[in-house]
Structures are given as structure tokens and as C-alpha cells.
């Protein structure tokens, strides 16, 4: 009997010990476009050495997991303790308010305040997290293909039509399958749509019906997919709002002009290497302006965490100026830290193409439209993006006309607004 009691007591102690070990765990859901997962792991290893009581677990997942599975976990009151997310505003009710938990809230307000509203519920002053990087959509041209075809790369103020014409000429001359590609993403589609004068936001701050500006570019875009100027593989290859990128086609030298964004720079620098020359081109111009779309991924704390103090400690560490500096310099990401931006960065790369590309993106921030800057903090942005992707794909696949696609986009968005009960 005594032996049984001893065994039971040992089991209970073991169980308690394992539970107390879990008390210090901080789980981060993280996705990577390039090398940032490795850099973060390195930074977190150092954090854990400095803070032996906190065990940070880094879950590297695909972007689609963050887009599709994290929201379900959050709605169920579950999920990781920290997550790297792009759909920041629409899920802001799930973010933890770090204001009372961080060491110096004023530091956060001062340095990350400009984008704080992108990730907080409307009307609050919550500190939800910080942007791991600021991104900007824009184009990339395969310079080697242009040179070999003897076609001049269109200049800074070139229009979408100029790019389509030049890229098609190069593709034909060099026998590559794709002249242009634009990621299967509503965010990517929005930059050019805005450059044709579109306005998504109605007078009541809810989604407005598609206007002429939107229709002008979308009609052009659907036509380009149909005639093969724009990659069919990206846009008709999936149903619904599933994300598809064309980065691999560009890296493999199969694509002349790729419209994506600044986050591809480290990816291209690493994977293209010296295979061919490439340049960032900023955003082509529409009839109204030459805007791209700002954005980025935010690292946010989740309010369902069991260890808020530990989470705040990890967030404080990752938001530290020297850590943000090292993260940005090693990943080639543009930081959101105001103080750091003022001091400047020394990106850790010998790749002159990557450095030049980053400069192009920095200078392109000057041509952002007012609406483009507003959309990342607008609740309905993703609703708009999802509807556009689904219906434009169907029109491009020949299932419906462009006009039918426009009516469906309006109907889809209206249904979503009604469903939300807002």
C-alpha cells in the first residue's frame, strides 16, 4: 500500500512539474517569405538564453495556415500566443492589449504608432503588436531577358499598357512562357486598380459598389489573362480566394515582368543569385496615379494566451530597436520602427541588385495614394480583396463576362456585409 502511495505521489509530482514547465511556454505561429524564419529563430535562441524561465516555441507554417486556420482557432478562443499575421484589422478583436504589460508603452507609441491602428479595434488605443516589416507592392523585371531581346526597360512613369507591350515583346522574342504575372491576391490587384482612380470606401465607411476606375483596370486585366499577356497559371489555377504567387516562375527565369512586392527582394536575392539580372521597377501608372499598396505583416499577441506576462516579455524583446535593426538588416525587410528609420540601416547583403531594389521601393513610398495608405486599416479590405479574386478568376477562365463578374463582386460584398451584421 505504501509502495502504491509512493508511486501515485511521484506521478502527481511529475504531472505538476510538467504543467509548471508549460506555464513559461510562448508559442509563435510564423510564416516565411524568405529567410526571416531562420533569423527569428536565431534571435529567439538568444532571448531564451537571457531568459531561462521562458521557453519560446517557433511554429513555422505556410502562409495559407495563417490565412485559413488561424482565424478558426481564434474564433474558438484558442491558438498560439503570438502570431505573424497580414489580415490585422478584421481580426483585431482577438489581439491582446499589451499596453499594461509592456515595459515602456511610450516607446511602442513613439516607434510603432504610425501603424498601430492597422491592428487595433476601431476607437481603441490598444497596443496589439508591431509590424515585422512594412511592405509595398511593386514590379520586378528580368533585366537579362530585356537586354537579350534588345527591348528597353520602360521608365519610371511607364503605364501598365507600356509594361504589357514591352513584356510581351520580350516574352515572344525570348520564347519564355509568361510575359507578365501578378500574384493571385486582392491586395496585389488593388494597387493598379487604385491607380485607375478607384474608390472602395463608401460614404458610410462600408464598401462602395465597384466604380469606373476599378472596372477599367479589371477589364484590362481580364483581357490580359485571356490573351496570355498575364500568366493564366496564377489566376485561373484555383477557385475561391486562394492565394497563388508567381515568384517561382520569376526565379526560374520563365517570367519577364512580375508584380508582387518588396518582401520578394530577399527571396530573389537568395534564390536567383547570379543566374540573371533583375530590377525592381516600382508601380506602373494608371490613368490617375502610379500607386502601389502598402502593407506588411504584423507580429501580434493573442488575447487567449495563458502566459500574458511572458508574451509581453518576448514582444518587448523583439520590438527592441537593436533587435528590429538586426532582424531588418539580415532579412532585407523595411522596418516599421520610426527611430530606426531615422537612423538608417545597413542591409547585410553583397547583392547590389537587392540593395538597389530596396531603394526603389523606399522611393516608391512617395507615390502612394491617400486611399492606398488608408486601406490597410480598413475593416472591409479583405472582403473586397476576396470577392475580386474569386470573380476576376472566373471571368478570366471564361466562365462569365467582365460585367457579370463586376455584378457578382458587388453582390458578394453586399452579402458579406449583411452576414457580418455590422
Partner 1 sequence: MDESGRSGLGQIAMMPIHFLMGVLDAPLRWLQRATGINGMAAFFLLPNMMIFGVFVLLPFFINFAYSMTGGTALFLPDRSFVGADQYARLFDCGSYIDPGSCAEDTFWTAVRNTGWFVVLQVTLMILVSLVTALILNRELMARSFWRAVFFFPVLLSPVVVGLIWKWILQRQGLLNFGLYSLGFDPYVWLNDRNWSFAATIGVSIWAHMGFYTLILLAGLQAIPKDLYEAAEMDGTRPARAFWRITLPLLMPNLLVVVVLVLIRAVQIFDEVYVLTGGGPGTSTLYLTQYIYETGFAAQLRNPGLAAAASILMGAVLVVLTLLQLGLGRSEKKGGRK
Q: Which residues bind partner 1 (CB under 8 A)?
A: 67-69, 71-72, 75-77, 87, 90, 177, 232-233, 236-242, 244, 252, 254, 382-383, 385-386, 390, 393-394, 396-400, 404, 408, 411, 415-416, 419-421
Nearer to partner 1, 70 or 314 (CB): 70
CB of 216 to partner 1, least distance (A): 23
Q: Which residues are registered as beta bridge partners of 135?
A: 295
Nearer to partner 1, 205 or 415 (CB): 415
Alpha helices per DSSP H over 24-127? 36-50, 63-64, 70-75, 105-116
Nearer to partner 1, 204 or 370 (CB): 204
Pairing of strands 25-30, 82-85: parallel
Nearer to partner 1, 209 or 228 (CB): 228
Pairing of strands 255-261, 178-182: parallel
Nearer to partner 1, 130 or 384 (CB): 384
Reading the block at residue 216, the C-alpha cell is: 477599367
Pairing of strands 55-60, 82-85: unpaired
Asked if residue 283 lies in contact with residue 291, where contact means CB atoms within 8 angstroms, the answer is yes
Reading the block at residue 63, the C-alpha cell is: 502562409
Asked if residue 167 lies in contact with residue 139, where contact means CB atoms within 8 angstroms, the answer is no
Q: What is the chain's length?
A: 422
Asked if residue 206 lies in contact with residue 417, where contact means CB atoms within 8 angstroms, the answer is yes
Pairing of strands 82-85, 294-301: antiparallel
CB of 394 to partner 1, least distance (A): 5
From the CA atom positions of the chain, what is the Rg in Å? Answer: 23
CB of 122 to partner 1, least distance (A): 16
CB of 307 to partner 1, least distance (A): 23
CB of 236 to partner 1, least distance (A): 4
Nearer to partner 1, 290 or 302 (CB): 302
Give the span between the Cα atoms of 14 and 161, in whole angstroms: 69
CB of 416 to partner 1, least distance (A): 5
CB of 421 to partner 1, least distance (A): 5
Pairing of strands 55-60, 255-261: unpaired
Nearer to partner 1, 351 or 382 (CB): 382
Amino acid at each position: 500500500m505504501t509502495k502504491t502511495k509512493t508511486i501515485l505521489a511521484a506521478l502527481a509530482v511529475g504531472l505538476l512539474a510538467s504543467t509548471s514547465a508549460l506555464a513559461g511556454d510562448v508559442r509563435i505561429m510564423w510564416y516565411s517569405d524568405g529567410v526571416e524564419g531562420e533569423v527569428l529563430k536565431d534571435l529567439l535562441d538568444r532571448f531564451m538564453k537571457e531568459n531561462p524561465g521562458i521557453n519560446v516555441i517557433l511554429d513555422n507554417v505556410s502562409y495559407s495556415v495563417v490565412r485559413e486556420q488561424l482565424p478558426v482557432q481564434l474564433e474558438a478562443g484558442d491558438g498560439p500566443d503570438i502570431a505573424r499575421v497580414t489580415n490585422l484589422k478584421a481580426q483585431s478583436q482577438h489581439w491582446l492589449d499589451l499596453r499594461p504589460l509592456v515595459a515602456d508603452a511610450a516607446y511602442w507609441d513613439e516607434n510603432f504608432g504610425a501603424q498601430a491602428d492597422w491592428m487595433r479595434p476601431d476607437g481603441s488605443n490598444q497596443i496589439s503588436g508591431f509590424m515585422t516589416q512594412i511592405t509595398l507592392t511593386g514590379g520586378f523585371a528580368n533585366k537579362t531577358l530585356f537586354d537579350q531581346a534588345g527591348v528597353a526597360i520602360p521608365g519610371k512613369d511607364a503605364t501598365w499598357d507600356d509594361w504589357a507591350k514591352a513584356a510581351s515583346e520580350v516574352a515572344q522574342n525570348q520564347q519564355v512562357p509568361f510575359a507578365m504575372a501578378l500574384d493571385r491576391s486582392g491586395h496585389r490587384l488593388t494597387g493598379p486598380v487604385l491607380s485607375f482612380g478607384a474608390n472602395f470606401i463608401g460614404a458610410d465607411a462600408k464598401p462602395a459598389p465597384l466604380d469606373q476606375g476599378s472596372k477599367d483596370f479589371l477589364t484590362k486585366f481580364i483581357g490580359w489573362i485571356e490573351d496570355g499577356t498575364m500568366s493564366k497559371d496564377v489566376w485561373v489555377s484555383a477557385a475561391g480566394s486562394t492565394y497563388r504567387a508567381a515568384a517561382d516562375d520569376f526565379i526560374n527565369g520563365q517570367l519577364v515582368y512580375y508584380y508582387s512586392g518588396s518582401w520578394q527582394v530577399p527571396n530573389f536575392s537568395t534564390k536567383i543569385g547570379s543566374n540573371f539580372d533583375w530590377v525592381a521597377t516600382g508601380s506602373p501608372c494608371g490613368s490617375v496615379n502610379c500607386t502601389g499598396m502598402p502593407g506588411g505583416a504584423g507580429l501580434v499577441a493573442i488575447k487567449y494566451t495563458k502566459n500574458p506576462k511572458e508574451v509581453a516579455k518576448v514582444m518587448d524583446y523583439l520590438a527592441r530597436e537593436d533587435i528590429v535593426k538586426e532582424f531588418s538588416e539580415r532579412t532585407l525587410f523595411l522596418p516599421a520602427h520610426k527611430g530606426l528609420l531615422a537612423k538608417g540601416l545597413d542591409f547585410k547583403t553583397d547583392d547590389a541588385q537587392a540593395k538597389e531594389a530596396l531603394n526603389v521601393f523606399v522611393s516608391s513610398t512617395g507615390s502612394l495614394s491617400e486611399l492606398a495608405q488608408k486601406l490597410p486599416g480598413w475593416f472591409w479590405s479583405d472582403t473586397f480583396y476576396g470577392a475580386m479574386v474569386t470573380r476576376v478568376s472566373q471571368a478570366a477562365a471564361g466562365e462569365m463576362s467582365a460585367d457579370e463578374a463586376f455584378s457578382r463582386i458587388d453582390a458578394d460584398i453586399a452579402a458579406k456585409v449583411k452576414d457580418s451584421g455590422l
